[in-house]
Amino acid sequence: MSTMHPEQQTQPSTFSLQRLKKVNLKERAAPAIYGCFLYLMDLVTLGSRAFTDDPLNDVTGMMGISTLFFVMSCCISQLTFYGLSSFRVGLVSSPISESFFSIRKLYADITTATEGLKMSTEETMSTVLFSLFLSTLLTGVAFLLLYCFNANKILSAIPAEIGLSLFFVVGCFCYRFANATVWSLSKTGYMNIAAFNATGVVLWLGCKLLSKKVPAISRYAYILCVAMLIGLFYLVAWANSWTVEELRTLNLLPTNASKELIKDWVVKVGLSKVRLDVVWGQILSILSITLLNMIHFPINIPAISKGTGSSCLMKKELLANGVANCLSAFGGGFPTYLISSSTIALNTPVRTKRIDTLVLGIAFPALFFIGRPLLYYTPQLSFDILLLFVGLDILYGSFKEIYESGVYTMVFVSIVTATSLCFNNLQFGMAAGFLVFGTKAIHAKYMSRAAEEEDDDFVAVTIPMA
């Protein structure tokens, strides 16, 4: 997984102004647009809801803070991974969305704990943000310690089946999450769900066929399809006289954010208003978030390497993750990582270039701050269809390799996939994978020792000749 191509030995991934001068912005437009759409998909569904999932009761404006932190963390991590990562393809990094559930609980626990202390809004929010800063900084420091102690040698020993199975699981999760909106609209029946998935598969096959027939627009196929769906969505809404408010109520449009991205209290927060006693009371939660952030590294890196066909140096990735999280702690707040599903999607069907990491890191925040109002008029189903495409790409790309790898790999992947989907958790799936691998290794060692003992018990008898 962490082997190095010859080109990586002679052409290290370093920042170069000469390379930037040779960048063809026209060629980079397609992956940048696609990458921005992937970011917007994450922002609408998860990025704005790290602290709370209830927009109606968000009186302190934490959804705005979450949105701003998400964008800034993406920008910081993209620029960092462009400078330090050893991958030679375009990468997509973002805040660790799996940790948002823990961050949300941390926010709720702190606000509950401060109610009896009669703390002001500024003191409460200062304590919340400092706790988040601490968990992200500890994540970065932990990665840097692993880098200093050459822990990459241990991580490089992760069996190939782990990466392949987690790659497949990521595709399953993408497909499942793509059905979230239509599932909420179809509580009494499955016809809408079946129609959505059938339509998605047909459109995906159509995009594949179009890309094959007209290679020049292969990168734009998904974008053109989504643009067509957006136009069709508003045509249907107009024909039925649906208002924007009705569409938002039905969850067909994202929740409209307030005109103010951040509230007035934000300028009043500071270290002097942090209640360290409250922070200390949440130290176990902070450390658990840090541990959760660390677990994703051995999951995502093998999956990205397998999904993009690009090798990497584990030690450089440890350094990149460490620096990215340390910088994000001070400038963005959220812990960050390379997100496997979006990176694989960005490099499908055509592999991108390393420069796309930088272009995307600049394009996304620029697009957000310039066109933020338009984001909340983009149909939720268009994001869902794109996520469905990503899931189908991953499942299609991994199934053939799994089948060709033999019965053991198929059983291994089945166990990891079933565990991950059952508990809705990649970490549990990875634990199941290591359990299977460990069981196989112990059995192989036992059989080898039994064979050696059998050889030792064999005594050769020489019969003298008369």
pLDDT tens digits along 242-276: 888 888 887 788 765 555 566 655 666 777 788 88
Higher pLDDT, 256 or 212: 212
Q: Are 395 and 171 in contact (CB under 8 A)?
A: yes
pLDDT at 146: 92
Using the Cα atoms of residue 18, residue 19, residue 22 and residue 25 in order, give the sign of their dihedral. negative
Q: Which two tokens stand for residue 85?
A: 């990562």
Does the pLDDT value for residue 217 go beyond 70? Answer: yes
Question: Tokens 């990491």 correspond to what residue?
Answer: 357
Question: Tokens 């059983």 correspond to what residue?
Answer: 411
Q: Are 393 and 307 in contact (CB under 8 A)?
A: no
Q: Residue 174 and residue 176: Cα distance in Å, rounded?
A: 5
Q: What's the mean pLDDT in 357-378?
A: 87
- 229-248 per-position pLDDT tens digit: 999 999 999 998 888 888 88
Reference 50, options 115, 114, 95; nearest CA is 95
Q: What's the mean pLDDT in 397-402?
A: 80
Q: Residue 189 and residue 185: Cα distance in Å, rounded?
A: 9
CA-to-CA dists, residue 226 to 41, 102, 108, 383, angstroms = 12, 33, 37, 8
Percent of the chain with pLDDT over 90: 20
Q: Residue 44 and residue 47: Cα distance in Å, rounded?
A: 6
Q: What's the mean pLDDT in 420-431?
A: 78
Higher pLDDT, 217 or 355: 355
Does the pLDDT value for residue 4 go beyond 50? Answer: no
pTM: 0.72
| pLDDT band (50, 70, 90) for residue 30 | confident
Burial 378-417 (b: 16+ CB within 10 A, else e): bbbbbbbbbbbbbbbbbbebbeeebeeeeeebeebbebbb
Half-sphere exposure of 424 (CA within 13 A, CB side): 4
Q: What is the residue type of 53?
A: D
Q: Are 328 and 377 in contact (CB under 8 A)?
A: no
DSSP bridge partners of 338: 93
- 144-177 per-position pLDDT tens digit: 999 999 887 776 666 777 777 877 887 888 788 7
Q: Which two tokens stand for residue 340?
A: 């496997």
Length of the chain: 466
